[in-house]
Structure 1
């Protein structure tokens, strides 16, 4: 059982040296055990540090995994503001592909796959998805403000048009996602979403 989250955990600034030591350990554990069987205590033991460090700065395993997943969310928001719906969709596809094309990115996508033996980490997966969806939904809001978006667009489906094929690629292939593939996804999404 995990200790209760201290009040100050969310506010405590995480020192760079702590983050640099913990995040590779998180990836290693996720690669071996997935989200479902991820354990702070086991990770700390295997990587030779005190689990109290995790509880001090992150509060619990859920927040630690979400923090790992969303480390580049601000970069995503900045990179996908190109001034046009088509450009933003292409930037979104490229950003996701660039992450998936790394060992870390592909490993993490695979670690998020549901383990059929348990569903207790659905909250962790949903927290990651909500944050990623929120960053991508900003693209649609900007496009709507510019008059580029069809009025009847379903936001969740629109975001999934871009994100889903890239994640499926990561799950079933070791090949790099090419810029041409990103362009094809972005172009398909643009044709589906753009006002005529």
Structure 2
């Protein structure tokens, strides 16, 4: 039910979202990561950190389709943004450990505020994907995944929402769901566009 409410909210203000789009900043892509950029896509974000608690630095890479501002439609056809988990290897190389096309909201899913994606945070086997959107009624969504050493996979750990009026940001309403609410949800199976 929560997702349906959020969708309705996003859809009613989508018409203004194109006006709020801002140009994307060029992301510097390390030479040892260029091979992971899918054909027809560009890099939206690269964040480095420890994703699997080993000796090597890892990374999360978020991609976007070229021209997504023109082709994405939040209601009928949101342009998906692949998120790649890249694990560091010996000799300063990486390998793709996992991919999801449903963890980062589309370019026009933020309504009047524009692109809702604000970044990725990595810390000690956890990573969070952060979003912010709305218009007079603002919202945030932070989705956190945790590395499971036994399965060598990342599982949904927390899904947090906050809603507030722009004129009264101190009167926010927060909701955080955890494993107690949604059970074991693998990173690859998570879908930001649906209830889990």
TM-score in terms of structure 2 length: 0.26
Structure with more relative contact order (C-alpha pairs < 8 Å, separation 6 or more): 1
Task: Choose between structure 1 and 2: higher strand proportion.
Answer: 2
Bigger Cα Rg:
1
Task: Choose between structure 1 and 2: higher helix proportion.
Answer: 1
